[in-house]
Amino acid sequence: MTLVIEVLGASLAPEGGPIGLFALAPEGEGTSSVQTGPSAEQVDPGLPAQLDAAECAREGFAAKVGQVLRVSVSPGRRAHVVGLGEPDRLEPDRYRRAAAAFVRSAGQGGEATMIVPSGAPGAALAEGAMLATYRFDPYRSQPPPGPLERLVLVPASPEDEAALRDEVALGVARADAVAFARDLVNTPPSDLDPSEFADRVAERLAGRARTSVEIWDRDRIVSERLGGLLAVARGSSEPPRLVLASYEPASLPEGGAGPHVVLVGKGITFDSGGLSLKTPEGMTTMKTDMSGAAAVMAALSACAELSVGVRVTAIAMVTENMPGPSALKPGDVFRARNGKTIEVLNTDAEGRLVLADGLSLASELEPDAIVDVATLTGAQVVALGRSIGALFGNDPPLTEALREAGRRAGEPLWPMPLPEEYAEHIDSDVADMKNTGRTGEAGSIAAAMLLSRFVGEGPWAHLDIAGPARSAESSGYLTKGGTGFGVRTLLEYLQELSAGR
């Protein structure tokens, strides 16, 4: 069951369930002020405009972001007042987190009403509510009690209704794309092998406006000389796939094709490490290793609904990394699509091998920007933890635009260097380069450095999302398991690019 969000005029507000209100933290010593408007009285005449200082103090409520205070408004009806934090810098992510806190606090099943303050970003509210109620239950015989089922948004001023409706549709489209990525990540690896990944993407893209998809099978991958994808796939009994999806905007600028962005995703549907086998513990979450591929395909799938105004191509490099009898051996050398040779000293550094070919294909399209997304290195988790992604690139305006998009999307990215003096970390004794760096030294940089040799001359950025692709707990708008990290940053970036032209 997916949360249903409706926008209603105040006069139509339904009876049942808690009422969500937002409050700003006091500046200095004052009391938290509740953000309501003319509609509030019609929803329930008992709704407060000002909170009782004594009650706030008693409950320790300071309107911090996502903090909830439950107050009685009329017999049998409660308001859940959710903090938005301080009134300055009211970024969209505060509303996402506040909406998530409300739907979590509104309990299991049933419905709730939320009063949307004038000027609040309706898209972020809808997104936060949808993301927080995401569940993955297809494998449970007895699913646990579900989250809120219906959320009615009431604009604080009736004249905001039409705009709020449009905003909500955008937020829902984005959250739905994230849910698609999360479902792919959460599906057990034997049920989501490369061909199943490709089929599910094709199914999702079918019928979407100005969106098309091609699936390359093993023969096509051989004839396209995708040596890296083939090298990694050798150890698996499942054949690899390449998914190539594209989106064209409804209107193109006079006499030109407009900007073109190519997205590339790492799609290892299960990473055992290959012959350089991982530990049992290290393998438990490795169905997550296709999160980059899921993110780029999910983002592309929402382009039409979000009226993205630039051309987008998404390439997913999809295979298992297994230690089967034909597996790649440490010491093996293969030739990648662009003719460069790579010595494989650790078969567990497989992501960079498949991405090398994906990036070559991307650069051949001569786009205005290439962005790859990958759960690439354990070192990324060590450097930045589970909430922040690592951002690399060769073009400061592009990396800055992505960082800004990540900030607005609530997916923080931190810039990392590609220092020329570390190039020798990937020098090979026998080939053009090797797939490992120096043990314990700048592992994420060594991986990104290898990628940089396959991107050609144009702007390129690389998001290493090994940490944030998966959440160890359900909190805020994340649900334990796959997070869909990257989807909203990519969409935010593409939407911003559309606005800018």
Catalytic residue IDs: 278, 352
Residue 348 binds Mn ion (CB under 5 A)? yes
Closer to Zn ion by Cβ: residue 160 or 271 = 271
Return the SS3 of 434.
Answer: strand
Q: Tell me which of Mn ion, Zn ion, ligand BES, none is bound by residue 172, counting a contact when its beta carbon lies within the kind-specific cut-off of 5 to 8 angstroms.
A: none
Which part of the chain contacts Mn ion (CB under 5 A), choosing from 8-16, 244-252, 268-276, 307-315?
Answer: 268-276
Is there binding between residue 464 and Zn ion (CB under 5 A)? no
313 vs 377 by CB, closer to ligand BES: 377
Residues in region 449-488 near ligand BES by CB under 6 A:
466
Cβ-Cβ contacts under 8 Å for 235 (sequence gap 6 or more)? 274, 275, 320, 321, 322, 323, 324, 326, 327, 328, 347
Span near Mn ion by CB under 5 A; candidates 101-109, 270-278, 309-317, 434-442: 270-278
**372 interacts with Mn ion by CB under 5 A:** no
Cα gap 458→472, rounded to integer Å = 37
CA 203 vs CA 214, 290, 363, 384: distances in Å = 12, 18, 27, 35
Q: Which of 346, 428, 452, 475 binds ligand BES (CB under 6 A)?
A: 346
**What is the pattern of x (binds Zn ion, CB under 5 A) and - over residues 249-278?**
-------------------x--x-------
- Contact between 353 and ligand BES by CB under 6 A: the answer reads no
CA 88 to chain centre: 27
Q: Where do we find the tokens 């409520």? A: 61
Cα 450 to Cα 435: distance, rounded to the nearest angstrom: 7
Answer yes or no whether residue 436 interacts with ligand BES by CB under 6 A: yes
Among 305, 287, 282, residue whose Cα is nearest residue 182: 287
- Residue 374's DSSP bridge partners are 464
Q: Where are the alpha helices (DSSP H) in 84-147?
A: 92-105, 122-132
Q: CB of residue 281 vs ligand BES: minimum separation in angstroms?
A: 11
DSSP string, 439-478: TTB-HHHHHHHHHHTTS-SS-EEEEE-TTTTEESS-BTTB
When the beta carbons of 154 and 383 are compared against ligand BES, the nearer one is 383
Q: Does 351 bind Zn ion (CB under 5 A)?
A: yes
Interface stretch with ligand BES, choices 45-53, 141-149, 372-380, 388-396 (CB under 6 A): 372-380
Q: What is the DSSP letter of 438?
A: B
- The radius of gyration computed from the CA coordinates of the chain, to the nearest angstrom, equals 24
Interface map 258-297 toward ligand BES (x if CB under 6 A): -------------x-----------------x--------
**Residue 273 region by backbone torsions, left for phi larger than 0, else alpha for psi between -120 and 50, else beta:** left
Residue 271 interacts with Mn ion (CB under 5 A)?
yes
411 binds ligand BES (CB under 6 A): no
Amino acid at 394: N
Contact 134, 181 (CB under 8 A): no
Contact stretch for Mn ion (CB under 5 A) within 94-102, 190-198, 209-217, 345-353: 345-353
| Least distance to ligand BES, CB of residue 489, Å | 18
Residues numbered 86 to 125 that lie near ligand BES (CB under 6 A) are none
Judged by DSSP in three states, 178 sits in helix
| Residue 496 CA from chain centroid, whole number | 16
What x/- string results for residues 20 through 59 when contact with Zn ion is judged by CB under 5 A? Answer: ----------------------------------------
Contacts with Mn ion, residue ranges (CB under 5 A):
271, 348, 350
Contacts with ligand BES, residue ranges (CB under 6 A):
271, 289, 346, 348-351, 375, 377-379, 381, 436, 443, 466
